């Protein structure tokens, strides 16, 4: 992996409609770099997609470099136009969460996070209710 030959994380995706094809995402260990204002880099590489070259994603510290590397990976995979499958889930579900960023300030980021949490809670309640309806239907048809 270029600067860091051993990845710290590897994820494999299959491609819908192309069972023989596999895309492998490799994320390397962040390492300190020297240009002023850029403190850490995190290598990212894809096998089976693009040119296979290692790209370094930069952050203020190692944690931010990893976070930004994951965002970069998600964007690259989505931009490929391929219907990728991870763990046989829904096509396009990369298992890489979208980050909620806000340049407005922490208060706005917290507002966005609260909106997302409320929607997740609402959707969970809907799923639970749907499960109850299905169980009732099964019970009334099986009697």
CA 38 to chain centre: 24
DSSP single-letter state for residue 78: H
Which spans in 5-105 are helix H? 62-79
What's the rounded Cα separation, in Å, for the pair 123 and 36?
Answer: 46
Are the C-beta atoms of 2 and 31 separated by less than 8 Å? no
Of residues 53, 52, 49, the one with CA closest to residue 18: 49
Ramachandran sector of residue 43 (left: φ over 0; alpha: ψ -120 to 50; beta: rest): beta
Alpha-carbon dihedral of residues 106, 112, 118, 119, nearest 10 degrees?
-160
The 10s digit of each residue's pLDDT in 49-80 is 988 899 999 999 999 999 999 999 999 999 99
Query: Which residue reads 């970069």 in tokens?
Result: 72
- In this prediction, residue 90 carries a pLDDT of 86
Per domain, the residue ranges of the chain are 1-95, 100-143
Contacts of 78 (CB under 8 A, 6+ apart): 92, 94
Mean pLDDT of the chain: 88
* Confidence bin at 4 (pLDDT 50/70/90): very low
The 10s digit of each residue's pLDDT in 84-122 is 999 878 888 899 988 877 778 888 888 988 998 999 999
């Amino acid at each position: 992996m270029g600067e860091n030959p051993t990845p710290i994380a590897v994820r494999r995706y299959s491609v819908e409609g192309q069972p023989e094809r596999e895309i492998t995402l490799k994320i390397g260990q962040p390492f300190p770099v020297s240009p002023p204002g850029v403190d850490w880099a995190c290598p990212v590489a894809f096998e089976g997609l693009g040119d296979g070259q290692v790209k370094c994603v930069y952050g203020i510290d190692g944690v931010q470099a990893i976070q930004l590397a994951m965002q970069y990976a998600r964007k690259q995979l989505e931009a490929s136009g391929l219907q990728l499958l991870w763990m046989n889930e829904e096509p396009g579900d990369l298992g890489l969460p979208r980050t909620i960023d806000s340049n407005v300030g922490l208060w706005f980021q917290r507002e966005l996070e609260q909106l997302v949490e409320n929607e997740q809670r609402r959707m969970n309640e809907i799923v639970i209710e749907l499960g109850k309806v299905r169980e009732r239907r099964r019970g009334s048809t099986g009697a």
